[in-house]
A and B are shown apart, each in its own frame.
Chain A
Amino acid sequence: MSNQEVLLRLSHIEKSFPGVHALKDVSLEVRKGEVLALIGENGAGKSTLIKAITGAHAPDSGTIEFDGVTYDKMTPEIALQVGIGAIYQEFTQAPPLSVAENVFMNLRVNDGPFRDYALMCKKTKEITDKLGVDINPRALVKDLTVGYKQLVEISKALARNARFLIMDEPTAPLTDDEVELLFKIIRELKEQGMTIIYISHRLDELFEVSDRVTVMRDGEVVVTKDINEIDKPMLIKYMVGRELKESFPERDKHYGDVVLEVKDFCGETVGPVSFTLREGEILGFGGLVGAGRTELARAIFGADPQVSGELYVKGQKVHFKSSMEAIEHGLGYVSEDRKNQGVLQNMAVDFNISLPIIKKLSHMLLVNTKKEREIVQKQVDDMSIKTPSLKQRTSNLSGGNQQKVVLGKWLASESDILILDEPTRGIDVGSKQEIYKLINRLAEQGKAIIVISSEMEELLGLTDRMLVLYEGKCTGKLEKEEYSQEKVLQYASGELSL
């Protein structure tokens, strides 16, 4: 089975984005007919690497060799020609069309002006038979379960004669049964000579399906090993060990009363979770992307429904049906998606900042613009938001300043429980420090703060306590003294749990 022939060889791949060195001298070999697992923390560079292989991104330097041919850069066209296929988490399908039509989308099965639908179905059947599954080619994709939709994606790649498949977290949306089926198919494909790169956060799976495993960290390949030469604790050790570069400002810690208490709280896809939060405290929500941190925050904030459990704000039992009620109780939420859920892009800075308190600023319907200007100006000054005027369209501001506008909104409304979801995402390094200082200052002023972050250093450096989520459940709680990258990752990958 151990065929040593190399199908794909990446040599010294470099890729930078403004402010981020995403891939640093990455070299990687994938052997013909093997399943290579690719793992790493959030932001380790896995996605960028995949995009370099499929041609979505052109690397800055380095070469890609596929089946003996060397390319300076891959393009999507070449990738398709030579037989590189990718199954992304987001499916590229037309749900109202049939399985056969999706599998052969943009491909011809026969000559002549009219397509031969029967032939198309027959060929689809041949492909799904090869996978060892039974799907009706005439069934509509929208009627299929997620597991079968994924099989359609795989069939689609096979219809394009893929010899090399990249699967990006294929098991994330699947149920246990579906995962079993997928593994069966992966083994089947391997038998038939398919080469696969398999990306997953679930460490257990790697041992089931992969032959070798490559660990990435900070844009570099840390190690590549045979799967039977390694175990989970070692994998986690390789994944962490990341140097912490950012320095985090110190702050005075004095905690007040408990202002937020969550007991067996369940949202639609998350829970049960229990925790308390005191005045002046910064609590972190850790976990991998998709672990349910944002869902938990939104459910607490009333943006998504609370399904069960109890929520106490300042000792009072509450059940928020809308964000409005949460805001009235002093909560504020800074969304991870600043552009679509944070600021009103085409509105002015003052409009954005005064929005949650606009009613309070009004007398008999009329907005007290003088008072509004004072309050907004205070926030702009306090946080040194760089804007030519209060009437400036928010879309013209930089990312960091837009984020300050969102924060300013909640400070102006005197929220004392702030939930900050990825507060420094898409913000340059200098502004990051400013945001950290600001968060510290707010905690010193006695505000209770929850920080959600996918950046390990940020989470470790900024927070006093941490809650780690894995697949919607709380797997770990850490006090500052117990903080270590390893611990967090063990909880976040479901390796350890309470």
Chain B
Amino acid sequence: MENSKLKTFVRDYTIVIVIALLAVGFTIGNKNFFTVSNFLTIMRQSAIMGVCGVGLMFCMVTGSINLATGSFMSLTTVLVALWSVNWGQNWIIGMILAVIICTIIGFVMGEVIIRGNINPMIGSLAVKTILAGAAYLISGGLPIYGIPDESKWLGQGFIGIIPVPVVVLVVVAVIASIVFTKTYLGRKFFAAGSNDEAARLSGIRTKEIRIASFIVCGMLCGIAGCIQLGRMGSGQPAAGSEVEMNILAALIIGGVAIGGGEGKVLRAFCGVFLINMLTNGMTLMNVNQYWQQVVQGFVFLFAVLLEAYQHRPYVPKKAKEDKKAAAKT
């Protein structure tokens, strides 16, 4: 049994080896890659995606999906900037309000998608468009500059030597990890994603659980938006555009099952780190922006292929041999 545990561990964290190999490659390509400051840069970027990713993970574990994560972030940065710059109000209250708004949007979105029996991929794509449009509307299409310097601490500051975003991520990840593995709520999230009907017959209200996952996702995307605001120092209606796909790809690389019922927070974060390191490394090696996009697309495709391979229908060994024998005759 110990042996099989080790096997699972090795299989789960093969991604670490991939990260190491890539790191070696980038280090050879650019000597500035393997430095503490660059590592912190990657970590800071990963932290924002990571917080969002944990939110998306809640949705995915229940067998649903949310493609609006980036738009939630854009909207948050714009809302807080509007509140603190244009209206001159306290930024802390602004952030709290923005996170609350995101949570409410998550709730409404979940209600509509889950109770309305909409395919969550399509439903959340619609929500993404709505929120992105709203962010442009509110900001008039332009960035909102001049947010209070203190608010930038959340994105650019340090606690000791650790960047604040990383601290936030660690807190979020630890809490999520505890929820998933130690609480009965976590069990319900996984049960709903693993087999909806069986879970329902075991007394789990799977619809409510899925809606809850959208609420959590909205909230976490709001928090990620606040960090993003601090990091960029301005409200950007485009802050989160195109981020959704990267987050999704990162989670799939990080072993979160598309069909639900499977995923580990730490492993998922490895996926996020990998994606960000790839972008960072390519930028340092002066890879053309458009080429980067092409590479990202291929990485995404590869991740999905890998996922499909891992979740291929289980055929017992015996049946396989029988089939082979039958094919011969």
Contacts and interface: CB of A to CB of B under 8 A. Distances in A.
B191 A355 contact: yes
A345 B205 contact: no
B38 interface: no
Interface in A349-367: 351, 354-356, 358-359, 361-362, 365-367
A355 B187 contact: yes
A247 to B, nearest CB: 30
Interface in A318-366: 322-324, 326-328, 333, 335, 340-347, 351, 354-356, 358-359, 361-362, 365-366
A362 B262 CA distance: 22
Interface string A365-393: 11101000000000000000000110000
Given A358-B184, A359-B184, A322 B194 contact: no
Contact of B202 (A340, A356, A388, A395): A356
Nearest to B326: A58
Nearest to A351: B187
Contact of A323 (B179, B185, B203): B203
Contacts of A335: 198, 201
Given A343-B198, A365-B185, A367-B182, A356 B203 contact: yes
Interface in B175-222: 179, 182-185, 187-188, 190-191, 194-195, 197-205
A333 B201 contact: yes
Given A324-B205, A346-B262, A367 B183 contact: yes
B298 to A, nearest CB: 29
Contact of A365 (B183, B203, B261): B183
B261 A347 contact: yes
Contacts of B200: 303, 322-323
Contacts of B194: 344-347
A322 B204 CA distance: 9
B291 interface: no
Contact of A340 (B190, B197, B205): B197
Interface in A387-433: 388-389, 395, 409
A347 B204 CA distance: 15
A164 interface: no
A323 B201 contact: yes
A367 B202 contact: no
Contacts of A367: 182-184, 187
B261 to A, nearest CB: 6
A322 to B, nearest CB: 6
A301 interface: yes
Interface in A40-89: none
Contacts of A395: 314
Nearest to A359: B184
Nearest to A301: B201
Interface in A274-301: 301
B1 A389 contact: yes
Contact of B184 (A323, A346, A365): A365
A351 B187 CA distance: 8
Nearest to A345: B195
Contact of A327 (B188, B195, B203): B203
B6 to A, nearest CB: 14
B184 A341 contact: no
Contact of A344 (B182, B185, B191, B314): B191
Given A356-B203, A409-B202, A347 B191 contact: yes
A494 B1 CA distance: 55
| Contact-residue size bin, chain B (C-beta under 8 Å from the other chain) | 20 to 34
B52 to A, nearest CB: 24
Interface in B256-296: 261-262
A306 B194 CA distance: 27
| Contact-residue size bin, chain A (C-beta under 8 Å from the other chain) | 20 to 34
A344 B261 contact: yes
A347 B203 CA distance: 17
Contacts of B187: 351, 354-355, 358, 367
Contacts of B314: 395
B197 A341 contact: yes
A64 B229 CA distance: 76
Contacts of B261: 344, 346-347
Interface string A96-108: 0000000000000
Contacts of A355: 187, 191, 199, 202-204
A362 B183 contact: yes
A341 B183 contact: no
A328 B202 CA distance: 11
Nearest to A358: B184
A409 B1 CA distance: 24
B13 to A, nearest CB: 18
Contact of B198 (A344, A354, A366, A389): A344
A345 B195 CA distance: 8
B178 to A, nearest CB: 8
A302 B204 CA distance: 12
B188 A358 contact: yes
A301 B205 CA distance: 14
B32 to A, nearest CB: 43
A340 B183 contact: no
Contacts of A324: 203-205
Nearest to A364: B183
Nearest to A409: B202
Contacts of A326: 203
Contacts of A340: 195, 197-198
Contacts of B205: 322, 324
Contacts of B204: 324, 355
Interface in A145-180: none
A382 to B, nearest CB: 20
A409 B190 CA distance: 17
Contacts of B1: 388-389
A388 B4 CA distance: 11
Interface string B158-186: 00000000000000000000010011110
A344 B184 contact: no
Nearest to A343: B198
B250 to A, nearest CB: 22
Contact of B201 (A341, A358, A359, A361): A341
Interface in B285-329: 314
B213 to A, nearest CB: 16
Given A340-B195, A345-B194, A389-B1, A362 B201 contact: no
Contacts of A303: 200-201
A133 B197 CA distance: 41
A322 B321 CA distance: 43
A323 B202 contact: yes
Nearest to A347: B194
17 contacts: A323-B203, A344-B191, A344-B261, A345-B194, A345-B195, A346-B261, A347-B190, A351-B191, A355-B191, A355-B199, A356-B202, A361-B184, A362-B183, A362-B184, A366-B182, A367-B184, A409-B202
Which are the 7 A-B pairs with shortest beta-carbon distances?
A327-B203, A324-B203, A344-B194, A358-B184, A365-B183, A362-B184, A355-B202
Interface of B: 1, 179, 182-185, 187-188, 190-191, 194-195, 197-205, 261-262, 314
Given A340-B195, A358-B188, A365-B184, 13 more contacts: A303-B201, A322-B205, A323-B200, A323-B202, A324-B203, A342-B201, A344-B195, A345-B195, A347-B194, A355-B199, A355-B204, A366-B182, A367-B182
